[in-house]
Amino acid sequence: MQTGNKINNSVPTKLAHNLVLNEVFDLALYKRIAEFASGETKAMLEKLIEVETEHVKFWQSFFNLPLNKLDFGRRVKFLFLVFFARVFGERGIHLLLEAIEIHGIRNYLSVWEIYKNHPLGGAVRGVLNDEFKHEEEIVSKSVSRKIHPERVRDIFLGLNDGLVEIIGAVSGFFAAFQTTTAVLVASLTVAVAGSISMAAAAFAALNSEREVEDVATRKKRFLDEGNGEFPQTSPASSALVVGISYFLGASVPVLPVLFGAQSIWVSVIAALIVIILISYFVAFLSGVSIIRRITINVVIIAVAVGVTYGAGLLAKNVFGINI
């Protein structure tokens, strides 16, 4: 369908370009991953390729933008996601597909807000219904059998908290202590204690949540409003994942000290690199702004390092703590 330049001018150029290129990106990614996927996952991707091929044609025609070549940023992202899919296999593929669906919904709703009262609103609604219903039918049901959102949340929660908290602790120890041995021992102690504390907190919180859900489920059964379903993840397993993830995140700023780093800067650089990667994944999987998420976490680390380093200097110079 040709819409003409006049129609193109009714939508922001950046939004139109991004939507078309994102559709082209998704189609290219599905095709590439399908080459090494197998079984149900491969069959699902082949269905997605059929649907996405038609959607690419529609949006290219709708905006009169015959774009087919990915820009540099999307090419880098493409290679990164293909690598992720290869490393993490079937579960990684399903996680990526769910994230892509979330991002797609955000873009589609932005376009709908512009065209809902437009003469072409009916055409837009038709393709968006197809996007939402068809792709959800293909992706969401399959994803729900392969991954648990709570498990993903637990992993990134632990990694993020462990890294941010321990880089702050390591900064303070470098300022207060004279030897790297003292910094290392103190940092490992805090990391272990922190991982146990986080695991205990996750267990207590999720256990309480499960008790409330259990009461609600039993009430529904009593009232014949359905049997309900018990959660698939247990408080104990969730606590274990959070605790281990916290310790792995905490290890990032500690490892440079273990290998002989004499200043805080190596730990800070390592922490920044990892937190940017974690922030990217969290933002991508949740559909929020990647730049905003990364900026927030980098600022948090900068504040944590500055405050704790200042506290360490205060403890050393004012209170005479010197190890």
Q: What is the pLDDT of residues 195-211, one digit of tens each?
A: 898 888 878 877 777 77
Q: Are 159 and 112 found together in one domain?
A: no
**Which structure tokens are listed for 280?**
């990217």
Q: Quote the number of domains for the chain.
A: 2
Q: In this structure, is residue 322 part of a structural domain?
A: no
Q: Are 290 and 174 found together in one domain?
A: yes
Q: Are 154 and 113 found together in one domain?
A: no
Query: Domain end: 112, 146, 180, which one?
Result: 146
Q: Are 106 and 158 found together in one domain?
A: no
311 vs 216, residue with greater confidence: 311
Please report the pLDDT score of residue 98 as a whole number: 75
Please, how many CA atoms are within 13 Å of residue 219, restricted to the half-sphere of its CB? 6
pLDDT surpasses 70 at 146: no
Backbone angles phi, psi at 210, to 5 degrees: -65, -40
Percentages (nearest 5) of helix, strand, coil residues in the chain: 85, 0, 15
- Determine the structural domain holding residue 172 and report its residue range: 149-317
- What one-letter code names the amino acid at 126? G
- What one-letter code names the amino acid at 258? L
Q: Are 185 and 131 found together in one domain?
A: no
Q: In this structure, is residue 323 part of a structural domain?
A: no
Please report the pLDDT score of residue 6 as a whole number: 40
Q: Are 142 and 170 found together in one domain?
A: no
Q: Which residue has the tokens 């819409």?
A: 3
Q: Are 22 and 108 found together in one domain?
A: yes
Distance in Å from the first CA to the final CA of the chain: 74
Q: Mean pLDDT throughout 122-138?
A: 66
Give pLDDT tens digits for 270-281: 988 988 888 887
Give pLDDT tens digits for 246-271: 899 889 999 998 888 888 888 889 98
Query: Domain end: 114, 146, 178, which one?
Result: 146
Q: Are 168 and 308 found together in one domain?
A: yes
pLDDT surpasses 60 at 20: yes
Q: 262: which DSSP letter?
A: -
